[in-house]
Amino acid sequence: MAPRAGSPRPAVSRPPKRPDQTERLIRAIDVIADRLGPEGRPDAPDISTRELQALRILGWAQQLRMSDLATAMKVPLSTATRIVDRLTRKGVVERDGGTDRRTVHVRFSAHGHKLGRCLMDWRRGTAEALLKRLPVRERRALLVALEQMTVSDQQQE
């Protein structure tokens, strides 16, 4: 029996669309970032993801001007200043120099060095646990692929 003119077509059952590779990559990165980010984790230090980003960058440089930190974080200077303000209140970093907060240098405090080691140990342990879920061959392939992606990203900047 043919459907009458003007009547709705019968619903066609289609299999759900599989996410494409880009969507799968984004989902995986989000999950890994959530696991490696300390926010809301009872077993992690009280540091936000943005604060962690600033600490990672500062750890590579040991000491930075506020403007250089903002550039490396890809945030406005005012945002970097607020992040450093919070880290200063927590006793993690110290400012070195004059009264203009934009031109002073920022470095780890003694407490910040200890916290930095604690954070890196915590992140390393979390990353190791994630990697151990994969067979050795897949783990190696993943790391090679991620290194290729990040090297090409750094070259484009």
15 in a structural domain: no
**pLDDT tens digits along 79-92:** 999 999 999 999 99
Q: Is residue 7 part of a domain?
A: no
Identify the pLDDT of residue 122: 81
DSSP conformation class of 32: H
Taking Cα atoms as reference points, which of 143, 145, 125, 123 lies closest to residue 134?
143
Does 35 map to a domain? Answer: no
**Looking at the predicted structure, is the pLDDT value of residue 5 above 60?**
no
> What pLDDT, on the 0 to 100 scale, is given for residue 140?
94
Tell me the average pLDDT across 101-117: 81
Paired with 96 in beta bridges are 105
Question: Considering the domain boundaries, does residue 67 fall inside one?
Answer: yes
Q: Is 120 inside any structural domain?
A: yes
Q: If DSSP codes are grouped into helix, strand and coil, which group holds residue 46?
A: coil
Percentage above 70 pLDDT, the chain: 76
Considering the domain boundaries, does residue 8 fall inside one? no
- Average pLDDT, rounded, for the chain: 81
Radius of gyration for the chain, computed over Cα atoms and rounded to the nearest angstrom: 23
3-state secondary structure 95-146: EECCCCCCCCEEEECHHHHHHHHHHHHHHHHHHHHHHCCCCHHHHHHHHHHH
Quote the pLDDT of residue 49: 81
Read off the pLDDT of residues 40-95 as tens digits, 9 standing for 90 and up.
666 666 778 888 889 889 887 778 888 899 999 999 999 999 999 999 999 999 98
Asked if residue 2 has pLDDT above 60, the reply is no
Is residue 145 included in any domain, yes or no? yes
Domain of 97 in residue numbering reads as 46-149
Q: Is residue 37 part of a domain?
A: no
Please tell me whether residue 31 adopts helix, strand or coil conformation. helix
Domain count, the chain: 1
Q: Is the pLDDT of residue 145 over 70?
A: yes
Number of residues that make up the chain: 157
- What CATH number should be reported for the domain holding residue 55? 1.10.10.10
**139 falls in which pLDDT band (50, 70, 90)?**
very high
